[in-house]
Amino acid sequence: MRVIVFFDLPIATSTDKKEYRTFRRFLIKSGFVMMQQSVYNKIVPNSTAADSIIASIRRNRPTKGAVMALRVTEKQFARIEFIVGDKRTGFLDNDDKLIIL
């Protein structure tokens, strides 16, 4: 299963920029990988872990802007179609290295 986070945050003021950087760093420290600008994903073992991750995102959300989270199964994620551009191999697209403790 994957959790995909989409966000659109303002960067008009220095405070907005700081919140944007803080939120982005939070996602990266939480194990999310950037798919494209403002779209990050993370592999999770099950729905319970996805619930926990989404609750963590709620606790660390910025005060302005839009943040959305989507849960998809690996089977659904595997059906992603690249309409324009090249398929990037720089991001983790399978759960081969997933370690469940």
Q: How far apart are CA 55 and CA 9, in angstroms?
A: 19
Q: How far apart are CA 7 and CA 91, in angstroms?
A: 19
Residue 94 confidence (pLDDT) above 80: no
Asked whether residue 37 is assigned to any structural domain, the reply reads yes
Asked whether residue 40 is assigned to any structural domain, the reply reads yes
Is the whole-model pTM more than 0.85? no
**pLDDT tens digit string along 48-86?**
999 999 999 999 999 999 999 999 999 999 998 878 766
Asked whether residue 44 is assigned to any structural domain, the reply reads yes
Asked whether residue 87 is assigned to any structural domain, the reply reads no
SS3 of residue 46 by DSSP: coil
**pLDDT tens digit string along 9-18?**
999 999 999 9
Q: What is the CATH number of the domain that holds 32?
A: 3.30.70.240
Residue type, 60: N
- In what helix (H) or strand (E) does residue 40 lie, and over which residues does it extend? strand 39-43
- Distance between alpha carbon 7 and the CA centroid of its chain, in Å? 9
